Amino acid sequence: MRVIHVVTAWPRHAEDPITPWLVALVRRQRAEGLDASVLAPTYRGGPEAEPTALPVHRFRYAPARLETLTHDETVPDRLRRSPLHGLLVPPYMLGGVLAARRVGRRSAPDVVHVHWPMPHAVFGAALRRGSGGRTAVVSSYYSVEIHWIRARLPLLLPFLRWTARTADEVTAISSSTGAAIRSLVDRPVTVIPYGAALADDGGQPARAALSGPHDEPVRVLFVGRLVERKGVEVLVQAIAEGRGSFGRPVELRIVGTGEWRPTIAAAIEAANLGASASRAVLLGRLSDADLRREYEAADIFVLPAVRDAKGDTEGLGVVLLEALRFERPVIGSDIGGIPDIIRPGETGLLCPPGQPRALAAAIDELIRDPERARELARRGRSRAAESFGWEGVMAATTAAYRRAIDNRRAGR
């Protein structure tokens, strides 16, 4: 089976953190015998050589210095922050359509897998047209495109419906995203947690959570892009809220970079968490080895997601799965796809989004009952391996491809 993935961004160099799960997906597909490749835009004209050593068709859409619409942040965030980038959208669309038509004519794939169909469904349609209509289209949604259009560009809702209606198979990153699609188009949607598939490291975690001396600070960890929808400033406020009442001192460790960093730094300063017994530390981007050490040393992992100004929130919450892989107790907001991972009181704790006091109470609950926290982590790790392992993701993906091919042949 020949498959082409249409994506917004693809790694530019060996250390680029862009979509590592997509790279892993393509690699695994090729290892299983699928002829999988990628169609992606360039970034500033590069790279000269493909860092992943995988077959990638990159398309140009502007002079090299202007090719900055993608990669460093999501396109909606880029357009909101710098509306002039909207001028790049027409050439981006034209470049992608022409590239897709060329690929389809040169060697028609059995399946084109469109990630972020808004607007990449147009590329999928062009590739299918280039193949003479033989190629099946699978469209995968990750929530941001749906919330963005509903909140900011409702005039494009008919186009969003078209992207789902014309696909031969539709998948969603989470149950909440699937429900959002079905509210627009009455059709089956398969939930496949792309971006969440976990490798099985085997063995036991290096140390049990909350097992340090009572006078040692509890490490509360956040990992992710520092953007509005992550709600990190709410977590900072929660640490300040609980200061003095937590069962132990708390050290909040924040890993990641992004345009929301100044807002978070200001929240840390306003809460006077720079050097107190309970404090917050901005660590920036870490190497894989250092990030692993942070997970291993953490006592509690928190994803305090909120709904941002463009209506977007967590499509799933992949970092929660990473934390569970290291058997860390997790707390997340009851929003978006996070409840797909956290079953409250069974595999972690859920809190109402944007409420520092409730979040502080959840952190304190785990600190004061470490054995229960460790039991939640053990159950969470077991469920994560069972429900979000690569084996299940790969099987579900291949099944979706076969249904799409059958639907295309049947003319449905």
User: Domain coordinates of the chain in residue numbers?
Assistant: 2-197+389-406, 218-387
Confidence grade of residue 326 (pLDDT, cut at 50, 70, 90): very high
Which range, of 40-44, 73-77, 359-363, 387-391, averages the lowest pLDDT?
Answer: 73-77
Highest mean pLDDT among 20-24, 248-252, 299-303, 315-319: 299-303
Choose the CATH number for 218-387 among 2.40.160.20, 3.40.50.2000, 3.30.70.3450, 3.40.50.1370: 3.40.50.2000
pLDDT at 327 over 60: yes
**Per-residue pLDDT, 77:** 77
Per-residue model confidence (pLDDT) at position 277: 67
Domain 2-197+389-406 has CATH 3.40.50.720: no
Mean pLDDT of 34-42: 97
Q: What is the pLDDT of residues 125-146, one digit of tens each?
A: 999 999 999 999 999 999 888 8
C-alpha dist (Å) from residue 281 to 76, 202, 273, 306 = 29, 31, 8, 21
Q: Please check the confidence at residue 43 and state whether its pLDDT lies above 70.
A: yes
CB 283 within 8 A of CB 255: yes
Supply the pLDDT for residue 195: 63
Check: CB of residue 42 under 8 Å from CB of residue 59.
yes
Mean pLDDT estimate for the chain: 92
Q: Report residue 391's pLDDT band, with 50, 70 and 90 as the boundaries.
A: confident
Does position 247 have pLDDT exceeding 90, yes or no? no
Q: Do domains 2-197+389-406 and 218-387 have the same CATH topology?
A: yes
Q: What CA–CA distance (Å, rounded) separates 135 from 141?
A: 19
**Region for residue 112 given its phi and psi (left: phi exceeds 0; alpha: psi -120 to 50; beta: otherwise):** beta
What gap in Å lies between CA 226 and CA 111, rounded to an integer?
35
The pLDDT tens digits for 338-377 are 999 999 999 999 999 999 999 999 999 999 999 999 999 9
The arithmetic mean of pLDDT across residues 106-110, rounded, is 90
